[in-house]
A and B are shown apart, each in its own frame.
Chain A
Amino acid sequence: MKRTDQSSLVGDKDLAVYVKPRFYSIGWRLLVYFFFVSLLPVFIIGYSMIQNSQYLLQTEISNKLEAIAMSKLSKIQFLLDESQGEFEDFFMNRSDLLTSIDQMLRESDFEKRNDVRKDFQELLSYSRHFSELALLDRHTGRIIVSTDPSKEGQKWDDPVLFEKGVSQFYTENLHYASELNDYTLGMSMPLRHTNSDFLGVFVGRLDLSKLYGFLGDHAGFGETGETYIVNNEGYIIYGIGLNSYYRKMEPAIRQRLVAEYKQTPLSTEGAVRGMRGETGIAIYDDYAGNEVIGYFENIPKFDFVFLAEQFTNEAFASVQVMKFRLVWILFGVLAANVILAFIIANSITRPLSKLTESAKQISSGDYEALTQVTGYDEFGILAQAFNRMSETLILSLDETKNIIRVLPNALFVLDTQGRITSVNQAAERLTEFGSQEMAGKSLEELIGHTGDGQKEEIFNLTDLRKRGAIYDLQAFCFTKYHKNIPISLSGVVLKNKQQKLIGFIVVAQDLSDIKASEIKLQASHAILKKEKAKTDEEKAKAEALLESIGEGIIAIDPQGKVLFMNQKSEAMFGRSSQEAIGRHYAENFDFEDAKGRPIKSDIFSVSGSIVMDKKIVFFFKLDNGKLPLSITVSPIVFEEKSMGNIVTFRDITKEMEVDKAKSEFVSLASHQLRTPLTGIKWLLQEIFRKGNLGDLQTEYMQDAIHSNDRMINLVNDLLNVSRLETGTIQAVSEKVDLFEFLHPIVREASILSKETGRILRFHLSGSKIDVMLDPQLIGQVITNLLSNAIHYTDKGKTITISAEKKGKAIVIKVTDEGIGISKEDQKKLFSKFFRSKEAAKRSTTGSGLGLYIVGKILDVCSGTIECQSEEGRGTTFIVTLPIKGPVNKASEKTLILKKLFSPLKK
Chain B
Amino acid sequence: MLDATDEGYVTSDGRKIGDVLMEMKNITLRFGGVKAITDISFDIRQGEIRAIIGPNGAGKSSMLNVISGFYVPQEGEVWYKGQKRPQMKPFQVAQLGIARTFQNIALFEGMTVLDNVMTGRLNYMKTNLFQQALWKGKAEEEETKNREVVEKVIDFLEIQSIRKTPVSRLPYGLKKRVELARALAAEPSLLLLDEPMAGMNVEEKEDMSRFVLDVNDEFGTTIALIEHDMGVVMDLSDRVVVMDYGKKIGDGTPDEIRNNQAVIDAYLGVAHD
Is the pairing of A and B real?
A: no
